[in-house]
Structure 1
């Protein structure tokens, strides 16, 4: 099963919404206001702000996604997920690689992310990818209790 990572297109809107609602539900998380905005308006939340959204397509189906959005001192990696059926194939790592390549191409020197301590598999991936833990900081997400960065 070959998978390709492509840039978000408007026809990905339903898959983007489905993928994000699914990982939030799987984690037992509420869809918060910032989530709702990102899910309902990926164009305005990410692309119009100079960001990118990457979609993993496998056999013509969107099975994963991740967004990269500029922030004051770098770029934030967010909304990353791979469907349970497609996990274990290195697709999440490939999404991170796509984000890092896009960030480097844009001259970004720092990747940042927020996550939840219950998402241990994701945190392990981020650590193996070179992210380091940061002290807690203000966040719009009630679920965010892990903060990480990777200097490029």
Structure 2
């Protein structure tokens, strides 16, 4: 398995992975990333202070991805965004490696904390975040873009 930065040709596969995950969990509804402009995902992450990694298997097939972007930049807080994997990649440690790598990139971009929003129906995601020492907070740090999300986490980005 390897990681690389997102490319425009990745957009269709990543959009499908994200939407398939949300639909499988009953979250293909307004207020989720399901309705984001995923067909141009790579464009969003081309701006300074943002990055998105794509996970590939040994055959070069996309297993999923995850990235970060500014959330409260004046407070040094980035948001972990759009971390989704194919069903075949789940349970293989890909999510852990992906989150760790994205955290390093965010820290190198100057962020001191990582924030994320998820939904209680995404139990494996919540387990991953808690295993990686994200702390559940009672509400979003600011008004959430994806209003349906109902679980919020924060983690300091310290050098390991």
Common fold: TM-score over 0.5: yes
Report the 3-state secondary structure (helix = DSSP H, G, I; strand = E; otherwise coil) of the residue aligned with 2:28: coil
Aligned to 1:17: 15
Out of 116, 121, 139, the position equivalent to 2:119 is 116
| Structure 2 unmatched runs, 5+ | none
Report the 3-state secondary structure (helix = DSSP H, G, I; strand = E; otherwise coil) of the residue aligned with 1:60: coil
Whether contact under 8 Å (1:49, 1:70) holds in the other structure is no
Distance across 2 between alignment mates of 1:26 and 1:38: 19
Aligned to 1:69: 69
How many matched pairs? 150
Aligned to 1:130: 133
Structure with greater helix share of residues: 1
Aligned to 1:79: 82
1:82-113 CA-partner distances (Å, limit 9, x unpaired): 11112111000111011111011112100000
Superposed CA RMSD: 1.7
Cα deviation for residue 13 of structure 1 reads: 1.4
1:6-33 CA-partner distances (Å, limit 9, x unpaired): 1101111111111111111111112547
Aligned to 1:27: 25
> Normalising by the residue count of structure 2, what TM-score does the alignment of the two structures yield?
0.85
Report the 3-state secondary structure (helix = DSSP H, G, I; strand = E; otherwise coil) of the residue aligned with 2:95: helix
Aligned to 1:151: 156
Cα deviation for residue 41 of structure 1 reads: 2.2
The ranges of structure 1 where at least 4 consecutive aligned residues each deviate by more than 6 angstroms after the TM superposition are: none
Cα distance change of structure 1 residues 39 and 33 upon mapping to structure 2, 3 Å threshold: farther
> Normalising by the residue count of structure 1, what TM-score does the alignment of the two structures yield?
0.89
